[in-house]
């Protein structure tokens, strides 16, 4: 067992788990790392196939976050959604996407916003068409389709757990 300060600044709490639970969590984390890496590679390759080569995973993620939005998204909201803590990385990615004609940025008072251009909409529509075709072709291989919602909930819970753990380690 490890003793750490609670993230809220309250009394110390004991964190421990049984061997089986720890093993299960380790297996899940390993699978999560593999899935996250495969997803990053997929969105870059998919957008390449859809018509735009040379994007980084962050640039590809920004495009997909901006897809389907009626209104431009604020820079801070875009960074929060993508979980980007270093603003210079986000600024660089947006400048590159803007230079490629995929994103337009504007200022609304002090607020910087970003939205897709017509070319960006066309690219992401091509990506989603490709994605749909791949899903249709792999429908029988995706045997966990009905469980994905439950898995997503569990992943959000784990994300919150890791965020609290990060805060607790910073408080030590």
Tens digits of residue pLDDT in 57-87: 999 999 999 998 889 999 999 999 999 989 9
Domain count, the chain: 1
pLDDT value of residue 96: 98
- Give me the CATH number covering residue 60: 1.10.10.10
Question: Is 32 within a domain?
Answer: no
Which range of residues forms the domain containing residue 93? Answer: 37-138
Question: Is 149 within a domain?
Answer: no
Please indicate, yes or no, whether the overall pTM of this predicted structure exceeds 0.75. Answer: yes
Tens digits of residue pLDDT in 3-50: 444 445 444 444 456 778 888 888 988 988 998 999 999 999 999 999
**DSSP class per residue in 35-91:** HHHHHHHHHHHHHHHHT--S--HHHHHHHHHHTT-SSPEEHHHHHHHHT---HHHHH
Question: Is 96 within a domain?
Answer: yes
């Amino acid at each position: 067992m490890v003793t750490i300060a609670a993230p809220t600044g309250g009394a110390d709490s004991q964190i421990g788990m049984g061997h089986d639970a720890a093993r299960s969590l380790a297996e899940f984390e390993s699978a999560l790392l593999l899935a996250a890496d495969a997803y990053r590679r997929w969105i870059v390759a998919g957008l390449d196939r859809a018509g735009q080569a040379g994007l980084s995973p962050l640039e590809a993620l920004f495009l997909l976050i901006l897809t389907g939005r009626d209104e431009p998204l604020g820079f801070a909201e875009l960074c929060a959604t993508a979980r980007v803590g270093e603003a210079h990385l986000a600024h660089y990615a947006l400048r590159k996407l803007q230079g490629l004609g995929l994103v337009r940025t504007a200022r609304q008072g002090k607020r910087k916003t970003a939205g897709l251009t017509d070319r960006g909409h066309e690219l992401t529509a091509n990506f989603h068409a490709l994605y749909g075709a791949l899903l249709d072709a792999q429908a029988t291989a995706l045997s966990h389709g009905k469980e994905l919602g439950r898995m997503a909930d569990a992943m959000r819970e784990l994300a919150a757990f890791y965020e609290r753990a990060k805060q607790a380690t910073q408080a030590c």
